[in-house]
Amino acid sequence: TNTVSKNFIEQLIDKDLEEGVYDHVQTRFPPEPNGYLHIGHAKSILLNSGLAKEYNGKFNLRFDDTNPTKERIEFVESIKKDVEWLGADWEDRLFFASNYFDQMYECALKLIRKGKAYVCDLTADQIREYRGTLTEPGKESPYRNRSVEENLALFEEMKAGKCEDGARVLRAKIDMASPNINMRDPIIYRVAHMTHHNTGNKWCIYPMYDFAHPIEDAIEHVTHSICTLEFEDHRPLYDWVVQECEFEMPPRQIEFAKLYLKNVVTGKRYIKRLVEDGIVDGWDDPRLVSISGLRRRGYTPEAIKMFVDLCGVSKSQSTVDMAMLEYCIREDLKMKKPRMMAVLDPIKVVIDNYPEGQVEYFDVPNNLENESLGSRKVPFSRELYIEREDFMEIPPKKYFRLFPGNEVRLMNAYFVKCESIEKDTDGNVTLIHCTYDPETRSGSGFTGRKVKGTIHWVAASTAKKVTVRLYENIVDEEKGMFAEDGTLNLNPRSLVTCESYVEPALAEAAPEDRFQFVRNGYFCVDNKDSAPGEPVFNRIVSLKSSFKL
């Protein structure tokens, strides 16, 4: 096999399979259901499900729901939807860590019986103090040498609800002098009188993440437990837990670098704040890089997959530019989607020498680069809308669009020449008078003269008026992510709403339908605010890109 093009995780897996450490590959994605997923999670999902596919293995979706404080069913449902949408197939392998509470409890008892865990009565502050620092070893708890019998009895009391929250914990008995602070008798169970979304009031003791996670992996026969770099220092504890709990075929933890986007809010914590402060319209606001936000904006699973592949998998932290994700969606939609005409910021044109009341139809190819998308009929009539910026009363040099006396091509239609304009009392242009030349009809082969500008248009009588939303980064990129007081620097122009006109074929567009609007970018029908016959369009991305592969 070609190991050069494989990432470091694939190389590790190859080695494990070659050496017979494992005879199959089992991965998992273990979200905590305490928020919606974001682009970083997409990386983890596609990595784990992709490896399972590549090695003919299995992929589990497991909710890591061992901490009842912040977990909610709403998040479970949204996470399932997002993972499915990304195309990661867990088949019938959907699990909840909370279903393993009995087994985790048994593991804790096993550790106590082996003299590898003890009940500690120190307060949280004392435990922290006793733990020591990077340069100073920790100090042993006075409760460290309790007998097995006493520990079993006290742990039983904790479980039976006889202890207040925080009064006692169960700790692994490892090494208070370890250079790795995570190994200095970490807490593995705590008392918390809380109702759990799955187990209700059955438990008032809950396992800590570092104890629960390896057990969850081992129970599911996970071979490669892939997580992000901040858990590297926890790996010795992970290995200790699976070994001391005596699981056969211990899973291997592998860490990779998190995905970060430059000047983009990714962390669950920060997205949550934007939602709670009402700065965005929920977790699926199209300006967010939550998976539901990206979907609503118009990103496709294919584009996200391409992006994640381009980012690669590595051990060193790096920050990726959002332009790369934008490049991927352009690449995905370019050949697949029809190119339609929509006038975002309209100004009216009347063609004075065109017959009043007449409508003619132009047969327009849907995508000049992809014939298989066919063509459509586009109506043309005496009154049209064009973009306000495609007309200037006093044009600068090299402005080739419409201005008094100048002739341009109306895309797919005729040459028109601006003859005069009308203005309101404030001096704003309200109407542009043009004449057209019937000889110049698109497709007629006219070669009599040339024009330098081509502009798009929509026939007024048949146009559909719609709401179009244009987006920018929610963060003010000039100022950077955070202000001195730790709040986000917000961009006041992150959402601009336009009343626009689109060709009639777009009136029936359905939620999540995607189009190119010529010259204006790629757009997607909003899946929340659109109604039948009343689509709202979100701009996914403009056509121009600074990003080159």
Closest to ligand ATP by CB, 203 or 256: 256
At its nearest, how many Å lie between Mg ion and the CB of residue 241? 18
Task: Report, in Å, the least distance between residue 268 CB and Mg ion.
Answer: 5
Binding to ligand ATP by CB under 6 A, coded x per residue (else -) over 477-496, reads --------------------
Dist. CA 360–CA 530, nearest whole Å: 30
User: CA-CA distance, 521 to 450, in Å (whole number)?
Assistant: 27
Which amino acid would we find at residue 15?
Answer: K
Whole-number Å distance between alpha carbons of 187 and 120: 9
Task: Report the residue number, 32 or 512, with the smaller CB distance to Mg ion.
Answer: 32
Would the annotation count 64 as a binding residue?
yes
- CB neighbours of 90 closer than 8 A, spacing ≥ 6? 49, 59, 60, 61, 83
Quick one: tokens of 192?
């918390």
Task: Report the residue number, 218 or 463, with the smaller CB distance to ligand ATP.
Answer: 218
**Which residues have a Cβ under 8 Å from the Cβ of 282 and sit 6 or more positions away?**
275
Torsion angle (degrees, nearest 10) of CA 223, 228, 233, 234? -50
Is 33 marked as a binding-site residue? yes
Per the listing, tokens 């620097």 go with 489
The count of other CB atoms within 10 Å of the CB of residue 177 is 13
The answer to the question of residue 40 lying near ligand ATP (CB under 6 A) is yes
User: Which phi and psi angles does 457 have, rounded to 5°?
Assistant: -160, 170
The 246-275 contact track toward ligand ATP, x by CB under 6 A, reads ------------xx------xxxx------
Written as one string, the DSSP assignment of 155-176 is HHHHHTT-S-TTT-EEEE---T
- Residue 494 binding result from Mg ion, ligand ATP, none, given CB thresholds of 5 to 8 Å by partner type: none
| Interface residue with ligand ATP, options 41, 146, 213, 469 (CB under 6 A) | 41
Q: Is 43 in the site for ligand ATP (CB under 6 A)?
A: yes
38 annotated ligand binder: yes
Q: Is 44 annotated as a binding residue?
A: yes
- Binders in 279-318 for ligand ATP, by CB under 6 A: none
Give, as one character, the DSSP assignment of residue 398. T
42 is in an annotated binding site: yes
Of all residues in the shown chain, the one whose CB is closest to ligand ATP is 40
Q: Which of residues 289 and 468 has its CB atom nearest to Mg ion in the complex?
A: 289
Smaller CB separation from ligand ATP, 41 or 464: 41
Q: How far is the CB of 287 from Mg ion (least distance, A)?
A: 21
Q: How far apart are CA 365 and CA 350, in angstroms?
A: 25
Give all strands (DSSP E) within 318-475, no chain letters: 318-320, 339-340, 342-343, 346-351, 359-365, 375-381, 383-387, 407-410, 415-423, 429-437, 454-455, 458-459, 464-471
Give me the least distance between CB of 126 and ligand ATP, in Å please: 28
Residue 464 touches which of Mg ion, ligand ATP, none (CB < 5 to 8 A by kind)? none
Bridge partner residues of 365 (DSSP): 375
192-196 long-range contacts (CB < 8 A, ≥24 apart) are 192/68, 192/69, 192/165, 193/161, 193/165, 194/68, 194/69, 195/68, 196/65, 196/68, 196/71, 196/98
Of 29-37, 111-119, 333-341, 407-415, the segment contacting ligand ATP by CB under 6 A is 29-37
Instruction: Confirm or deny that 221 is annotated as ligand binding.
Output: no
Name the one range near ligand ATP by CB under 6 A: 37-45, 131-139, 160-168, 524-532: 37-45
**Residue of 13, 25, 26, 30 that binds ligand ATP (CB under 6 A):** 30
Positive or negative CA dihedral for 166, 167, 172, 177?
positive
Point out which residues bind Mg ion (CB under 5 A): 32
Q: How far is the CB of 31 from Mg ion (least distance, A)?
A: 8
What is the residue whose two structure tokens read 């040099």?
Answer: 397
Give residue 165's identity as a one-letter amino acid code.
Answer: D
32 near ligand ATP, judged by CB under 6 A: yes
| Choice from 9, 13, 31, 107 touching ligand ATP (CB under 6 A) | 31
Q: What minimum distance in Å lies between the beta carbon of 289 and ligand ATP?
A: 10
| One of 27, 44, 500, 520 touching ligand ATP (CB under 6 A) | 44
**Segment lying near ligand ATP (by CB under 6 A), choices 38-46, 429-437, 448-456, 526-534:** 38-46
Pairing of strands 58-63, 94-96: parallel
| Nearest distance in Å: CB 124, ligand ATP | 22
Shortest Cβ distance from residue 369 to ligand ATP (Å)?
A: 34
Shortest distance, position 174 Cβ to ligand ATP, whole Å: 24
Alpha-carbon distance 381 to 20, whole Å? 74
Nearer to Mg ion, 254 or 329 (CB): 254
Could you please report the per-residue DSSP string of 54-78? Answer: HTT-EEEEEE----TTS--HHHHHH
Residues 6+ positions from 160 with CB-CB distance below 8 Å: none
The reply to whether 34 sits in an annotated binding site is yes
* Residue 7 annotated in ligand binding: no
Among Mg ion, ligand ATP, none, the one that 44 touches (CB under a kind-dependent 5 to 8 A) is: ligand ATP
Q: Is 489 part of any known ligand binding site?
A: no
Where b means 16+ CB within 10 Å and e means fewer, 383-396 reads ebbbbeebbeeeee
Which does residue 506 bind out of Mg ion, ligand ATP, none, counting CB within 5 to 8 angstroms by kind? none
Of 99, 103, 182, 228, the one binding ligand ATP (CB under 6 A) is 228
Q: Pick from 204, 227, 304, 432 the residue near ligand ATP by CB under 6 A.
A: 227
Q: Is 49 part of any known ligand binding site? A: no
Q: Which is nearer to ligand ATP, 30 or 346 (CB)?
A: 30
DSSP 3-state assignment of 18?
helix
346 labeled part of a ligand binding site: no
3-state secondary structure of 498: strand
Please give the residue ranges that form the binding site for ligand ATP (CB under 6 A): 30-32, 40-41, 43-44, 227-228, 258-259, 266-269
Q: Which residues carry a binding-site annotation for ATP? A: 32-34, 38-44, 228
Q: Which residues carry a binding-site annotation? A: 32-34, 38-44, 64, 209, 228
Q: Which residues carry a binding-site annotation for L-glutamine? A: 64, 209
